[in-house]
Amino acid sequence: MEEERRSNKRKRGRRSRHKVGSTEKPVNSASCANNPTRNSSKSSSFLDKYHAGYQEQMSHWPEQPVKVIIKWLKDHSPSLVVADFGCGDARLARSVKNKVFSLDLVSSDPSVTACDMSNTPLDSSSIDVAVFCLSLMGTSFPSYLQEGIIIAFLSRLCLRSGQLLIAEVKSRFDPNTGGADPNTLAKAICELGFTRVKVHSPLFHAKCYIRVQDFSNKMFILLYFKKKEKQNSNKGIAWPELKPCLYKRR
């Protein structure tokens, strides 16, 4: 009898995970592949379902990028002001002592500022650290080149010593599936006026100017940049195309 109850509980858990995952899949496709101006008119509950599915999927990863970023912030000064672009459930802001501006396209959370990432209410030179955690989805613009405009705008927001942290799903940088070269992305960002610090992925650490070639058992990559004193124009920069993100079911 007890074994039957445990079996039924496991089945209910699997059904629940499938329900959340099935909700996440179409929303994820819309977020990654389409222009969000078409999706922003949808109710915030639609985005809430996406975030719920996203969190369920992330719970199965051996390491979560937001936790890595949280640790990074805790290892640095709590006086650093942070902007979390595409913040989702604003977990970052709840987990650190720093002042964090949580920004997302649509949100029912009053602690999150709903806005386009290319047109935020942040004052110029108002932040020390900018975070893009799984949020460079190509949703605000028809091409990744225009996502570079976000970064160019960001470079005007960061203080002189500003730092930029980008976490992205590894499938978008997997050469076996036509993914972009992370070094090409890093080079483009550096041309905007940043210095690459290092590239990190689970079980993999390296200094700057490395080539990420081993993608086995890794869910994401994390790139760190530091702002240069002199900023460059984004004209003529070759931006790689980032394909829609693929989350593997477990």
- Give the three-state DSSP class for 38: helix
Beta pairing partners, 198: 207, 224
pTM recorded for the entire structure:
0.73
Q: Report the sign of the C-alpha dihedral through residues 116, 29, 54, 186, in that order.
A: negative
Domains and CATH numbers, the chain: 2-57 (no CATH), 63-227 (3.40.50.150)
Cα pseudo-dihedral 106, 107, 110, 112, rounded to 10? -70
Q: Report the C-alpha gap between 49 and 20 in whole angstroms.
A: 8
The pLDDT value given to residue 143: 40
The pLDDT value given to residue 149: 56
Sheet bearing 204-207, strands edge to edge? 112-114, 100-104, 82-85, 127-133, 158-169, 220-227, 194-201, 204-207
Local confidence pLDDT in tens for the 250 residues of the chain? 556 555 554 544 444 444 433 433 444 444 454 444 444 445 566 666 666 666 677 677 777 889 999 999 999 999 999 999 889 889 999 999 999 999 998 888 899 999 887 778 888 778 999 998 988 765 443 343 345 556 767 778 887 678 989 888 887 777 777 777 878 888 888 887 888 876 655 433 333 333 333 333 367 888 888 888 776 665 677 777 777 665 554 4
- Give the three-state DSSP class for 133: strand
Among the listed residues 54, 77, 185, the one whose alpha carbon sits nearest the alpha carbon of residue 128: 77
